[in-house]
Amino acid sequence: MEPEFPIEFIVQGTPVSFQRANPRAKEEWRDLVRRASAPRLPQMHFASSQHLSVTLFYYPDGLMIGDLDNIIKLTLDAMSQHVYVDDEQVERVVIQKFEKGRIFAFQAPSETLAACMLGPKPALYIRVSNTPYEDL
């Protein structure tokens, strides 16, 4: 069974950089992403082979330490062979951080995005869509 897109979920915690030296921390982040996505996927699903887009909105609990681009690779890798076959299918990545005190108004946030905005921090909102060029 193919996953039904879009898939939205929240990963509670601070994303781990691909450049981090600790391999255990990297594996723990991959596991966290997979566990967070599992309830949004059909129980007996196949990894999708469609062309996809991924949106990552990071809500740190203060000022973000490190570079925003460093959290992309491990997060995409975590969804390979789980949500999709390979991260080479991802044609578009949208990433943004929302540090405390910086206001950004969403016109119509989804229920999952609203839960992430209002919930505990740090948190990473992830949306995977099979419409690579959609406007969010």
pLDDT recorded at residue 136:
54
pLDDT recorded at residue 100:
86
Rounded to an integer, the average pLDDT of 56-75 is: 92
Nearest to 10 by CA among 61, 53, 55: 55
What is the rounded distance in angstroms from the CA atom of residue 59 to the CA atom of residue 85?
27
Rounded to an integer, the average pLDDT of 97-111 is: 88
Name every residue whose Cβ is closer than 8 Å to that of residue 23 and which is 6 or more positions away in sequence: none
pLDDT recorded at residue 1:
81
Cross-strand partners of 7: 128
**Whether the predicted pLDDT of 14 surpasses 70:** yes
Kindly list the structural domains of the chain, giving each domain's residue range(s) and its CATH number in brackets, ordered by start. 7-129 (3.30.1330.70)
pLDDT recorded at residue 86:
95
Rounded to an integer, the average pLDDT of 34-46 is: 91
pLDDT recorded at residue 10:
98
